Structure 1
Amino acid sequence: MNQIQKFRQVIDPGSLRVRLTIGIAAFSTLGLGSLAIWTSLKMQQILINSHKYNIERIADRLPRDVKIYSEMMPPEQGLQKSVDSLTNNDIFIWVKGSENKIIAKSQNWNQLSDTAASELMSLTEMSVKPQVTQVKQRYFVLCGGSLPVKGNVLGKLFVVQDVTREQKMYLAMVQSLGIASSLVILVISVAIAFYIQRSLQPLRQLSQMTEVISAADLSEAQLSIDRAPSEVKELAQTFNMLLSRLSLAWEQERQFVSNVSHELRTPLTIVHGYLQSVLRRKNNLTTTQIEALETAATEAEHTIRLLQDLLDLARADSGYLHFSLNPCVLNDLVVEVVGMAQKFSDRQIIIEATHQTIEVKADYNRLKQVFLNLIDNAVKYSEADTPVIVKLYQQEDAAVIQVCDEGYGIPLKHQSRIFERFYRVDETRNRATGGTGLGLSIVKTLVESMGGNVTVRSRLGEGSIFTVTLPTSSSLENRYSHQIS
């Protein structure tokens, strides 16, 4: 499968390089092919057509010579005399009378093989216009017609010239010309392909440069290509202006989210505090008022968490999210987090951890926030009578923490986007569960900021497994010492 993908990358019918190469190669083939055909016709005209003209001239002259000789001697002798006078090593002449009986012929038939001579002699008709015919691996120009003398037809005239050497030379030259044209077309196509590939290299560089640009790099990203055509340089400048506008819009959006989150969080916190205070002194309140205040307090708390998540993400995007990285024993952290989750969720949460002490360098409070979010996510989207399992183990130089549930599962098409902000799986992720749609995004941001990564593996109806991988303290020390050495 990988080989097929590589082949498609090299030979992509939709790519500009392949289209240009095929187009130019096709025009080159058409041009060289036309030149080769024209050259072949000219070669045939030079090598063969002169013989055709000679044979046609002999066929026209022989009746006149016979008429002249017949006035001086008997017709049979005059006919033979005329045939002998027009015959040479390559020209063969014979005349057939009634009942196809040969009444005169040239004296050079011994130069032909018996089979070739007999096959030529067996011919009963010939075209008035000279034609090239192959007989027993030899080539002849044939021409014929009637032989009138003094108003009487003596018989049928047959004139043949052996053009084997010229015809073979012509065929060999046509073959050589075809091979040479094919090689030239192949060389031109390869040269054109390399030239086009080299010419399109600036566009490929431009594509590679844009692929690595992320939202965090927009303010510093600049596309610069030194040795490139003017059109590509103009395209790079247009991209740079587009990146500048995107950077400005992205910065304004982050600043707006940060300001709104910060400005709204304080008054909402005050409102939530007042609501909690009123609810604690609820002696003079009716049941309806108490329910309304509890709903308002719950929604205020939910909005405060949402604003806090937005503020954390905005700070992370701006690079202002503070991390206090210190050695942390994951065994103790997992026990503490599970205890807190069991207290607030009243669910069975099982720890499967190795007895080996696993230590990482991370922000203790941020890491606690990560695991609380993952456990809270597992509790929300699984049945109350199913356990949540937290696994802790070390794999080579990495610490691995897995939060497993037996819940609804996540469809495969949604798994690649589950860590996006505000992304929800429509079937199971809704407001009724109490989620903000930012929990997993917060998890991903925090884990990656501490040098780790988080992944998900899930099946519908079987549950989900969220895996957090962090480098251990020993691996970080080894890496640091290796860089120093």
Structure 2
Amino acid sequence: MFLIKSLPNVKQLSNLASLRVRLTLGIASMSILGLGVVGMGVCWQMQNILVVAHKNNTHYIADRFPSDVEIYSDMVSLEEGTQKAIDNLSNSQTLLWVRDTQGELTAQSEALKMGMRGKNLLSLTDIASQPEFRKIGDRYWVLCSTRLVVKGVDLGDFHIAQDITKDQMMFWGVMRSLLMVSIIATILMTGSIAWYIQTALQPLKRMSKTTKDISPETLGQVQLELENAPSEVKELANTLQTTLTRLSNAWEDQRQLVSNVSHELRTPLTVVSGYLQSTLRRGNNLTDIQKEALETASSEADRTIQLLQDLLDLARAENGRMYFHLETIVLNELLGEIEGMVHQYPIPVEISLPNESVKIKGDKNRLKQVFLNLIDNAVKYSHSPEPIVIQLSQEKQQANIQVCDRGVGIPLAHQTRIFERFYRVDEARSRNVGGTGLGLSIVKTLVEGMGGTIKVISKPNQGTTFTILFPVL
């Protein structure tokens, strides 16, 4: 009974088709998209607040400047009053200048006059009346221009430039820090999501591990136990458990039916075959047509009896009732006996034996059945007169028996299924050569029942090699 008690080892995220990867990438992508939108919104809002604050300050200076000039002009001339107002409002970040109606520079901040700051500002001619954010060279400025009228006198254009480079660099620094924090948070979040999804999918992985190696013989032994699983997964497990139980019962009923039918039909068919053969032996007055009909009926009866016997053997093996008389066998001697039994085949059979004796534990009669089935199969599907070669060798602690032919071969897509019962690579050819489609299935059952293994290597139109391996004594 298979009980799921522990978690399997989890592979890294590498399969893009897996549910875990898709969920992780999907949730992480949506989270990153959400964080990105929020981050962009925060950045835009912070930038807007920064620029708006400086624009408001520029508005304040533009509104205040004419009144300051008017106050100073009560004591000095308008030109001197304008310069004093500029000096009063200027600082390291705020630069002011005035151009008269002819475009001549009449007043400016000390930093502009000395060429310390804003060298490119005085050449600007397209400054808007509303404060605007602009990058000039490697500096960031908020610029504004307004008409300066004092005591009814038009003094020209008054220009304001506020250097916000320091604030802007600080803003970009904050943005870089925020970006780094976002990247780290995204990585941690993705890892957390992957871990959580992995944990949530563990019941499904346990179900997959349990059902992966189910065979017809173990259908009734499977038990799905999912502790702490979500209710949907438990419902799926219960449905699967019910399905497996039904399949197990159906498989057992089928095996029992095959066994019973094969057993019940074999006896009457054996009697029929005996009567047909007896009639053929004693029927001296039979016509040629009658003899041909009786021979055909006898042949089909014998073939059906062999089919039923094969089915019985397989049924016994599946039910654990096929017994082997295991003894020490010298394969050299056994294959020597086989060599004396294959002269009736139309294609020669060559057997290559080593000088050293190769001993295994096996059932002599069952082994003969295995080799004769493989030789019979090779003869049926050979299209050339080249001999069938049986080669015995010992490699390390294994006896290696190869049965090679130069027949039609087996396509790669069919090689994994040729040991299935009733499976035929070419149905049309199989009907022509005869056979029940159970020979290779019985061979595999017998070989594995005696502790050996069998494998096949084949190429179309080049031949097939069956290799049987047994542990040596």
1:340-364 deviation digits (Å, cap 9, x = unpaired): 122x325311111111101110111
Q: Which moved more, 1:366-375 or 1:232-241?
A: 232-241
Could you tell me how far 1:310 is from its partner in structure 2? 0.7
Q: Which 4+ runs in 1 deviate beyond 6 A?
A: none
Distance of 2:457 and 2:427 partners within structure 1: 18
1:171-198 deviation digits (Å, cap 9, x = unpaired): 1111111221122112101111122112
Distance of 1:351 and 1:387 partners within structure 2: 10
Distance of 2:361 and 2:400 partners within structure 1: 14
Secondary structure at the counterpart of residue 391 of structure 2: strand
Are 1:325 and 2:341 matched, yes or no? no
2:369 corresponds to: 369
Distance of 1:358 and 1:463 partners within structure 2: 27
Are 1:85 and 2:88 matched, yes or no? yes
1:171 corresponds to: 172
Q: Which moved more, 1:351-360 or 1:99-108?
A: 99-108
Distance of 2:41 and 2:139 partners within structure 1: 25
Distance of 1:358 and 1:55 partners within structure 2: 104
Contact 2:332/2:357 (<8 A) preserved: yes
Distance of 1:87 and 1:176 partners within structure 2: 33
Distance of 1:419 and 1:469 partners within structure 2: 16
1:214-256 deviation digits (Å, cap 9, x = unpaired): 1110121111122322222222222111110000000000001
TM-score normalised by length of structure 2: 0.93
Contact 1:381/1:428 (<8 A) preserved: no
2:167 alignment partner AA? E
Secondary structure at the counterpart of residue 220 of structure 2: coil
Are 1:218 and 2:219 matched, yes or no? yes
2:406 corresponds to: 406
1:26 corresponds to: 29
Contact 1:94/1:159 (<8 A) preserved: yes
> Relative to 1, partners in 2 of residues 1:137 and 1:385: Cα closer, same or farther, differing over 3 Å?
closer
Distance of 1:15 and 1:409 partners within structure 2: 38
Mapping for residues 54-453 of structure 1, pairs under 5 Å: 54-70=57-73, 73-109=76-112, 113=116, 116-342=117-343, 344-383=344-383, 385-426=385-426, 429-453=429-453
Contact 1:126/1:145 (<8 A) preserved: no
Distance of 2:22 and 2:145 partners within structure 1: 55
Could you tell me how far 1:433 is from its partner in structure 2? 0.9
1:244 alignment partner AA? T
1:44 corresponds to: 47
Contact 1:387/1:405 (<8 A) preserved: yes
1:13 alignment partner AA? L
Q: Which moved more, 1:82-91 or 1:454-463?
A: 82-91
Q: Which moved more, 1:463-472 or 1:123-132?
A: 123-132
Distance of 1:121 and 1:9 partners within structure 2: 63
1:308-364 deviation digits (Å, cap 9, x = unpaired): 00111111111111111111111111111221122x325311111111101110111
Could you tell me how far 1:145 is from its partner in structure 2? 2.2
> Relative to 1, partners in 2 of residues 1:45 and 1:283: Cα closer, same or farther, differing over 3 Å?
closer
1:265-301 deviation digits (Å, cap 9, x = unpaired): 0000011011111111021212211111111111100
Contact 2:384/2:407 (<8 A) preserved: no
Distance of 2:94 and 2:12 partners within structure 1: 64
Distance of 1:314 and 1:179 partners within structure 2: 68
> Relative to 1, partners in 2 of residues 1:463 and 1:89: Cα closer, same or farther, differing over 3 Å?
closer
Distance of 1:229 and 1:259 partners within structure 2: 45
Secondary structure at the counterpart of residue 337 of structure 1: helix
Higher relative contact order (CA 8 A, sep 6+): 2
Indicate which of 51, 56, 59 corresponds to 1:53. Answer: 56
> Relative to 1, partners in 2 of residues 1:347 and 1:32: Cα closer, same or farther, differing over 3 Å?
closer
Distance of 1:316 and 1:208 partners within structure 2: 27
Could you tell me how far 1:400 is from its partner in structure 2? 0.9
Secondary structure at the counterpart of residue 117 of structure 1: coil
Secondary structure at the counterpart of residue 124 of structure 1: coil
TM-score normalised by length of structure 1: 0.90
Distance of 1:449 and 1:327 partners within structure 2: 16
Unpaired stretches in structure 1, ≥5 consecutive residues: 1-7, 474-485
Could you tell me how far 1:368 is from its partner in structure 2? 0.7
Secondary structure at the counterpart of residue 280 of structure 1: helix
Distance of 2:291 and 2:375 partners within structure 1: 31
Q: CA RMSD in A?
A: 2.0
1:52-94 deviation digits (Å, cap 9, x = unpaired): 2111111122233334544554321232232233223422111
1:139 alignment partner AA? Y
Secondary structure at the counterpart of residue 36 of structure 2: helix
Percent of pairs identical after alignment? 51
Distance of 1:40 and 1:383 partners within structure 2: 80
Distance of 1:133 and 1:103 partners within structure 2: 25
More helix by share: 1
Distance of 1:235 and 1:202 partners within structure 2: 11
Distance of 1:219 and 1:89 partners within structure 2: 88
2:107 alignment partner AA? A
Distance of 1:298 and 1:374 partners within structure 2: 21
2:5 corresponds to: none
1:13 corresponds to: 16
Secondary structure at the counterpart of residue 84 of structure 1: helix
How many equivalent residue pairs?
A: 463
Could you tell me how far 1:428 is from its partner in structure 2? 6.4
